[in-house]
Structure 1
Amino acid sequence: MATIGYVRVSTHDQSVEAQKHGLTEMYNVDEWYEDSGVSGAVKALERPGFDALVAYVRRGDTLVVSAVDRLGRDTLDVLHTVEALQAKGVSIISKREGFDLSTPIGKAMLTMLAAVAELERSNIKARQMAGIERAKAEGKALGREKTINDAQVSEWRKTNSASIKATAEHFNISVASVKRACAAV
């Protein structure tokens, strides 16, 4: 019976090392699986590292995670993930919450914690949208800086009687960029 560690970080700027260190303080991990740069909003079985973990685990294994939110931020997905692992005979332990998710009490706690994780995800998204709206209201430019001159693109297309595709190839830009440039002038 092996102890399997799973770690996940949402961005490539973050590191899984702190999670690994925290888990190795309490558990003798035999095998590691990780997803770096993968949001908790992505369903667990759609993450390459977690999918490989599910294919590897066997009856009697124990999966350890640093916190429930490493499994996911969607309550239903977390519950589905736990049930899929339990069906394979795998126990799941969350270090931060300090309980075995495969027991009845653990499953009840998991339901509440997964709901809190989902709420936090919604709050993050709401704060992000509020920040975008505020930036727009302040007149700040959002998105990537424009690198093409709309008038130049439109003029070249008219002068050469060129198609949208030919214009895109000439300027090495997308067809959508040519359409926007021509519509803007």
Structure 2
Amino acid sequence: MAIIGYARVSTEGQELTAQLEQLNGAGVDKIFKEKASGVKQDRPQLAAMLDHLREGDTVIVCKLDRIARSTKHLLEIVESLEARKVSFKVLNINLDTSTPTGKLMLSMLASIAQFEREMMLERQREGIRLAKDAGRYQGRKATARALSDKALELLAQGKTKQAVADELEIGIASVYRIAKAAKA
């Protein structure tokens, strides 16, 4: 049973020092650390840490936003940890999934995240409806259909559907639809 720490900063200008001190103070045996954006980049050290874990281990982070991109991502990670019988602790909010209180806090976070998502989608649908009513919403442009003539020309030249999709930067399903519509 090992205590594994994970530390991350988002930009090269930031330092890991404070996180490393907190993790060492929490008695971690091994720390996986990286400088990577939580949103834009893959995080090889997070993947390595998750691969390294064994049943009975504990993962510790300083703050929730250091390990997960979103609440949904956090819940996916924690669910994966629980399936492997690995505990999860967050130092700044004293969350510990090995305790009933920690599990309750995590469930509350999940419920709040789901509620926020549903409210955002409801506001989005209402905004689209209002924009449509006002004649300001057109939806996204049909980029593939606008390229139908070019797609058919490339197909007539003997190019494969995948080659046409790649060249026009559209999905291969769109190329199939264009070809089918041309035969009809």
Per the normalisation by structure 2, the TM-score is: 0.53
RMSD of aligned alpha carbons: 5.0
How do 1:1-185 residues align onto structure 2 when only pairs under 5 Å count?
1-5=2-6, 15=10, 23-24=19-20, 26-28=22-24, 30-32=30-32, 36-37=38-39, 50-58=46-54, 59=56, 61-64=58-61, 66-67=63-64, 70=68, 72-73=71-72, 77=76, 80-84=79-83, 87-88=85-86, 91-128=87-124, 137-140=135-138, 142=140, 150=148, 156=153, 162=156, 165=159, 172-173=167-168, 176-177=174-175, 179-180=177-178, 183=181
Following the alignment from structure 1 to structure 2, what is the Cα–Cα distance between the partners of residues 129 and 78? 30
- SS at structure 2 position matched to 1:37: coil
Unaligned runs of 5+ in 1: 9-14, 39-46
**How far 1:145 moved relative to its partner?**
5.7
Is the 8 Å Cα contact of residues 61 and 91 (structure 2) preserved in structure 1? yes
Q: Percent identity?
A: 25
Is the 8 Å Cα contact of residues 73 and 121 (structure 1) preserved in structure 2? no
- SS at structure 2 position matched to 1:73: helix
Unaligned runs of 5+ in 2: none
Q: Deviations over 1:75-118 (max 9, x none)?
A: 97465334235x24xx4222453332221211122111222123
Q: Deviations over 1:35-94 (max 9, x none)?
A: 8437xxxxxxxx965443232135454422512882851797465334235x24xx4222
CA spacing shift, 1:135–1:145, aligned 2, 3 Å: farther
Per the normalisation by structure 1, the TM-score is: 0.53
Residues matched between the structures, number: 164
